[in-house]
Amino acid sequence: MDRYIARGSGIAARMLGGEMMVMSTTDSTFFSLNEVATVIWQAADGRTPLSEIVANKICLEFDVDQERAQVGADRFVDELSRHGILLVSEHPWISSLQMRESR
C-alpha cells in the first residue's frame, strides 16, 4: 500500500547551515533533519507516493538499498506524523485550489 505525505500547516521550517530545522507550532516539538530526511521533507508534495520518493530520490542520491531506505523513511514519516508535521494518506492529497478548479 502506497502512502502519500504532505507537510502539515502548523509548522515552521528553515534551512540553517545545510540542515533543515522543523518545528511543530502545535506542541513545539523541534526536529533537525539529516540529509536523507531533508530530501523526504522537500519531496512531501502530497501527490508523490513515499515509495517513489525512496526509489527515485533516496536510493539514487545516497546509494542505499531500497528495502533499508524504505524502513528508515517509514520510521521518519511515522515520527513526524505523530506531531502533525507530516500528514499521511493512502490517497494523493488534493489542494483546495485543485478542488475549486475541477468544479
Three-state DSSP state, 68: helix
State the Cα–Cα distance between residues 3 and 43, nearest whole angstrom.
13
State the Cα–Cα distance between residues 74 and 23, nearest whole angstrom.
19
State the Cα–Cα distance between residues 31 and 75, nearest whole angstrom.
14
Domain region containing 38: 4-101
User: How sure is the predictor about 95, in pLDDT bands with cuts at 50, 70 and 90?
Assistant: low
Beta bridge partners of 20: 15, 33
CATH number of the domain encompassing residue 16: 3.90.930
Q: What pLDDT score was predicted for residue 97?
A: 41
pLDDT in tens, 42-67: 999 999 999 999 999 999 999 999 99
